[in-house]
Amino acid sequence: MAKGYWVSAYRTISDPEKLAAYNELAGPAVRAGGGRTLVRGGRTVAHDAGIAERTVLIEFDSFDQAVAAHESEAYQEALAALGDGVERDFRIVEGLD
């Protein structure tokens, strides 16, 4: 079964306090949903139309598990805390195998 991934590229962070509140809630919600954080911040080199900003990559055992974790009550609470504190490109994608 193909793995699922959350890919999030932060374009701007306008409220670091909201991001910190989100991180406090999102980490446990992701782990409870079976997610493993592979990348969170760190060094970035952007090419083409990319933006060298914070990037997060989270792996799940399946695409369906990744979708369910995003829809969970715990993660929705984290999103509410984040509010308009960032502008990001968030995607859930299916791996190759």
71-91 confidence digits (pLDDT tens)? 999 999 999 999 999 999 999
What is residue 96's predicted lDDT score, i.e. its pLDDT? 94
Dihedral pair phi/psi, residue 84, rounded to 5°: -100, 25
Domains in the chain, CATH or no CATH each = 4-94 (3.30.70.100)
* pLDDT range class, residue 97, cuts 50, 70, 90: confident
Beta bridge partners of 92: 6
Dist CA 35 CA 33 (whole Å): 6
With 0.85 as the threshold, say if the pTM is over it. Answer: yes
The number of residues in the chain equals 97
What is the predicted pLDDT for the residue at 42? 87
